[in-house]
Amino acid sequence: MADKVATLQQTLRDLGDPERATHSQRYFKTGPGEYGESDVFRGIRVPVLRALVKEQDDLSLDEIERLLHTHFHEDRLLALLILVRRYKRGNVATKQAVYDLYLRNTAYINNWDLVDSSAPQIVGTHLLERTRDLLYELVESDDLWERRIAILATQAFIRQDDFEDTLKLSALLLEDDEDLIHKAVGWMLREVGKRHLEAEEAFLRVHYQQMPRTMLRYAIEKFPEPKRQAYLKGIV
């Protein structure tokens, strides 16, 4: 029997573009000491990967997990996009299995695009009607990507006009050292504001002077310019 994962990876090799791969290595900060240190790219555009997803319905969860463990960034992204589709279309047992697979493999969900394209759709959606204690464990993790999973998962809640956990987790991340967390928190606060501006501003009035500058800028990006400047100047 043909090894479906090996066959799929050969397809990915054939789709790779060395010039694009070099650009991606720079864009995703893969140099020494950078957040994506040692990540390796094939050079495949995301729409190309998305086009492959629908063709992988015969992959088992074990095979998807093997793909997620690969050395190449695009292979891991494809595995996550397949898991998102599998979760969305699956029955209760499949959804639980996908969720469990995801959480035991956070070591491989190790760049911002990998988190952002999967955490809301799998973790957030799974926790819509369940206890969210897990997010408060992840937000205390030493791992940058687990903390980003925690806050990005709440995007699923925001879409249901449920803001409480986004705001609580944002408060816990105010003193985080990582710029990618500052951006993620600011982004989620901005998403809250799109649906309930008063809720976002209530949070900002309490915390804006404590917020890292990047977090604040992301959170108020869509505010009218006079209001945005007032926050930036600390005169709200």
The distance between the two most distant Cα atoms of the chain, rounded to a whole number of Å, is 68
User: What would the pLDDT profile of 108-123 be if each residue is shown by its tens digit?
Assistant: 999 999 999 999 999 9
- pLDDT of 1 > 50? The answer is no
Task: Identify the structural domains of the chain with CATH numbers, from first to last.
Answer: 1-107 (1.25.10.90), 127-236 (1.25.40.290)
Contacts of 51 (CB under 8 A, 6+ apart): none
- Say what the pLDDT of residue 82 is: 98
Mean pLDDT calculated for residue range 133-145: 98
Nearest to 157 by CA among 190, 185, 184, 121: 121
- pLDDT of 2 > 80? The answer is no
User: What would the pLDDT profile of 12-30 be if each residue is shown by its tens digit?
Assistant: 999 999 999 999 999 999 9
Nearest to 15 by CA among 98, 88, 72, 86: 72
Give DSSP secondary structure letters for 94-158: HHHHHHHHHHTTGGG--SHHHHHTTHIIIIIHHTTTS--HHHHHHTT-S-HHHHHHHHHHTHHHH
User: What would the pLDDT profile of 65-104 be if each residue is shown by its tens digit?
Assistant: 999 999 999 999 999 999 999 999 999 999 999 999 999 9
- pLDDT of 146 > 60? The answer is yes
Give the predicted TM-score (pTM) of the model.
0.95
